[in-house]
Amino acid sequence: MKEKILKRFQEEIAALERELRLELPKEIQRAREHGDLRENAEYKAAKERQTIVNSRIAMLQKRVGEISLMNLDRIPHDRAGFGSTVHLIGETGETVVYQLVMPEDADAEKGMISTSSPIGRAILNKEEGDEIEVVTPAGVRRFEVKKLTTIHDD
């Protein structure tokens, strides 16, 4: 999982660097050819995009460094942690399945929730049979951890 995230970030960094080195300079040059830069919307847009791309590259490089330092051996083998898939049963008997992921990969519709989200934090360090409470805008919801698969089990 860690390698997949790193690969995705490195591919995005490469694409952004390509845009920064090849495409944006051409756009800026085309915009300069239109004359007065003070009232040139194309020039301003290209320069703003250049700033955004630089910021995104810096943020991604920082995250790559942080993720590279992650020690997956420190993730518990018997409790919910990063990469775990958790089957929860709610008070009304409904079953929901969540996988605990990094914020960048969170997609609630696909059952992928961030370890830093309210429900993600409530699930962390829980074992099968544990009960959890999650405060939501609609009120407190209670679940039981029915099944747990850790990143080490996959």
Q: Which residue has the higher pLDDT, 100 or 2?
A: 100
Alpha carbon 138 to its chain's center? 25
Q: pLDDT tens digits for 116-149?
A: 898 999 999 999 999 999 988 888 999 999 999 9
Cα gap 79→6, rounded to integer Å: 25
Answer whether residue 107 shows pLDDT above 70: yes
Q: Is the pTM of this model over 0.85?
A: no
Domain 2-70 has CATH 1.10.287.180: yes
Q: Give Cβ neighbours of residue 147 (< 8 Å, ≥ 6 apart).
A: 86, 87, 128
Spell out the domain ranges in the chain. 2-70, 76-149
Question: Encoding tokens for residue 31?
Answer: 């915009």
Sequential DSSP letters for 60-87: HHHHHHHHHT--GGGS-SSS--TT-EEE
Q: Which CATH architecture has domain 76-149?
A: Roll (3.10)
Alpha carbon 19 to its chain's center? 22
Q: What pLDDT does residue 4 have?
A: 78
Q: Give me the percent of the chain exceeding a pLDDT of 90.
A: 52
The type of residue at 60 is: L
